[in-house]
Amino acid sequence: MTEVPATGVLDNVVFKSLTGPHAWLAQRQGQAVRYPADVCGFAALPDRPQQRDWNDLARLANRPEGVALAGADDGPPTGWITLSRFTVVQMVDDGVDGRPDAEAARLMPDDVLEMLDLVGRTEPGPFGPRTIEMGTYLGFRHAGRLIAMAGQRFRPPGWTEVSAVCTAPEFRGRGLATRLVHAVVHEIRQRGDSPFLHVVASNTKTIALYEALGFRARRAADVLIIRPQSVATVT
C-alpha cells in the first residue's frame, strides 16, 4: 500500500485546494476564495477566519443561490442567511485497490451535456457545466450512451477527491461504479496523490460500500449553503 500523506490539509479541503493545486481556478477577495459558479459552488475561508474574511467572502458570495461552505461549524456571523445545512462524512484511503480499466473512457468537454444529464437522473452531488475542469472524469458507455461515470474534484496538496460516482438506474447492480472508483483511484495514485471522498452522513448504505472498497471514515463536517443578507450590510 502506498504511504498515505498527512490528513491535516483535509480539515479545510476547499481552501487548501484553491490556494494549492486549484489556485488557477480561484476567484479571490482578500483571503476568501471560491470556485467560479459554473465550476463548483464551494467557497472557503482560512482556518481561523476574522470578520474581514467574512466581509471578503460576502463580496464573492453575492448571488441569490449563495455558496457552499464546509467546516464552519459555528455558522456564519451576523449579516448572513443560512439557506440549508447538511452533514457529510469524509472518508480517506485505507488500502483502496486502484487499477486501470481498459473499458473506461476519458470524458471530455464534448461529453458534458451527457454528464449533466446523467447527474440530473442520479443525483450524486453538485456538478456544473465546467466541473470537468477540476480533474479527470472516466465513464462507461452502452450503445454509445453514457451510463456511468466517476471523477476527481477537490485537490488539497497530496490528496484528490473521488467524486460524481453514479450509474444510470437501469444499469445498476453490475459493478460499474466500483470499477470506475478503482480506475479513478489508479489515476490519482499515478500522480502521486491519495484518494479521499465525501458522503452525505445519512447515506449509511453508501458509506458501508466505500468502507468495503478500502476507505475509512475520518471525520464528519457540516456543509452550509449561505449568502449575505445584502451587500449593504458588508463594509
Q: Where in the chain does DSSP place strands (E)?
A: 27-29, 32-34, 42-44, 67-70, 80-93, 105-106, 137-142, 145-152, 159-167, 194-200, 215-228
pLDDT at 4: 62
What pTM, to 2 d.p., does this model score?
Answer: 0.93
The sign of the CA dihedral 30, 34, 36, 37 is negative
Whether residue 139 is predicted with pLDDT greater than 70 in this model: the reply is: yes
**pLDDT confidence bin for 3, thresholds 50/70/90:** low
Q: In the predicted model, what is the mean pLDDT of residues 114-125?
A: 96
CATH fold label, 8-87+221-233:
Aminopeptidase (3.40.630)
Is the pLDDT score of 233 beyond 80? no
Query: Which has more confidence, 24 or 62?
Result: 24
The fold of 91-219 is Aminopeptidase (3.40.630)
C-alpha cell at 229: 443578507
The yes-or-no verdict on residue 72 having pLDDT over 90 is no
In sequence order, which residues have a C-beta less than 8 Å from that of residue 120 and are 6 or more positions away?
A: none
Instruction: Answer whether residue 145 shows pLDDT above 80.
Output: yes
Nearest to 163 by CA among 191, 131, 186: 131
Domain 8-87+221-233 and domain 91-219, same fold? Reply is yes
C-alpha cell at 225: 449553503
3-class SS at 72?
coil
Q: What is the mean pLDDT of the chain?
A: 94
pLDDT tens digits, 33-70: 999 999 999 999 999 999 999 999 999 998 888 999 99
Q: CA-CA distance, 99 to 126, in Å (whole number)?
A: 26
Boundaries of every domain in the chain: 8-87+221-233, 91-219
Cα–Cα dist 194/4, whole Å? 6
Residue 153 — very low, low, confident or very high, per pLDDT cuts 50/70/90?
very high
pLDDT digits (tens, 9 = 90+) for 168-221: 999 999 999 999 999 999 999 999 999 999 999 999 999 999 999 999 999 999
pLDDT above 70 covers a percentage of the chain that reads 96
- Residue 75: what residue type? G
Average pLDDT value for residue range 4-11? 83
Has residue 234 got a pLDDT over 90?
Answer: no
- DSSP-based three-state secondary structure for 150: strand
At position 184, the amino acid (one-letter code) is V
